[in-house]
A and B are shown apart, each in its own frame.
With several copies, the nearest count.
Chain A
Amino acid sequence: MKLEIDESRCKGCNLCTLVCPYKIYRPGSRPNRKGIYVPEMDRPERCPNCRLQELYGRRLCGMCALICPDQAIKWVPEKPYEPMKVVIEY
């Protein structure tokens, strides 16, 4: 799974930067089209949720998404690592 910030929702409050135990979020440095400094991500693949969500069948940690007031943080399936697909390819 891939961690994503939905730019259409994020308002740049930086609360995610405060709570992630892995310090994956860092305050953004450049405004987007709407003038918002969306946080940047530092190696998001370190997030246990990215790695283990599918495996455990439930959300792990999830602090950032719970605290994000704008419902902007989500995990989206990443094609190459989709277990289903993997099964098919091999």
Chain B
Amino acid sequence: MRNEWLRSDRLPHIYCAGCGNGTIMNCVLEAITQTGWDRTRTVFLSGIGCSSRAPGYIMTDSLHTTHGRAIAFATGVKMADPSLHVVVFTGDGDLAAIGGNHFIHGCRRNIDITVVCMNNHIYGMTGGQGSPTTPLGKTSTTTPYGAEEAPFDLVELAIAAGANYVARWTSYHVKQLTDAVYDGLLTPGFSLIEVRCQCPTSYGRRNKYREPTDYMTYLKTNAILKRKWEEMERSGENISPDSFPVGEFVRRSRPVMGVPDEA
């Protein structure tokens, strides 16, 4: 049961009311219980950020590391003992700003870990600065006049860098997300599951989604299934700049590292 994986002595967690991170934790733990993995043989890692606090609430061994470096630490854990299951929680800033290099190298090596990125398009922990996934024009404390730098597409980046499994969902799509995490956990090699999620406090507040429920409605409305998205692209249909495709983008078997011999 999912609850057994929680450190209930640490709850409630520090997340703001309605923060998507808590939901994502639920889905990841749900997926993990489905794999039947042993709690003593599963390790969570993270960097720094709101998202990266997640492992602290989970009752396994865990490393809450330095900002951006979780995948590099995870590489050490997994290569030193491939029989451990390794899952990384990270944020958009942690993964794609300061941690971008470890991210692409994790994908390239195709190291057998699963990375769940809670992408709230903002630096939540430090109070709402722009991140490399802040969409053009959106406001943050460091883009008070609207973001001028184009954002990354984390899915494309992971694919180009070589990851074996890449999917994107939102914190609204709890079932699909759970399934995607499950698939990611079981696919040998590097798995990235990007989860677009609400940060009502730091992002929503400045971008018209102060209420968690409004924010979630926004996510629900703008997430378009990959197949549908491709159709729309093909037919030249007008796609809202707020919309984005969700689904599984890659599942393949490039050479991997850190897969236990017996697997």
Contacts and interface: CB of A to CB of B under 8 A. Distances in A.
Given A18-B213, A71-B6, A66 B16 contact: no
A13 B26 contact: no
28 contacts: A8-B12, A9-B12, A11-B17, A11-B18, A13-B18, A13-B200, A13-B212, A13-B213, A15-B18, A15-B23, A15-B212, A15-B213, A18-B216, A36-B17, A63-B174, A65-B26, A66-B178, A67-B23, A67-B172, A67-B174, A69-B15, A69-B21, A69-B23, A69-B25, A70-B13, A70-B17, A71-B22, A72-B12
Interface string B10-33: 011101111111110111001000
Contacts of A66: 23, 26-27, 30, 174-175, 178
A86 to B, nearest CB: 23
Contacts of B22: 68-71
Nearest to A8: B12
A80 B172 CA distance: 35
Interface residues of A, number: 21
A44 interface: no
Most A CB atoms within 10 A — which of B13, B17, B216? B17
B111 to A, nearest CB: 29
Interface of A: 8-9, 11-15, 17-19, 36, 63, 65-72, 74
B178 A14 contact: no
B22 to A, nearest CB: 3
- Interface size of B as a range: 20 to 34
A36 B16 CA distance: 12
B217 interface: yes
A33 B230 CA distance: 50
Given A66-B30, A69-B18, A69-B23, A14 B174 contact: no
B53 to A, nearest CB: 13
Given A11-B12, A11-B16, A66-B23, 15 more contacts: A8-B12, A9-B12, A12-B17, A15-B213, A19-B174, A63-B174, A67-B23, A67-B26, A67-B174, A69-B20, A69-B21, A69-B23, A69-B26, A71-B3, A71-B22
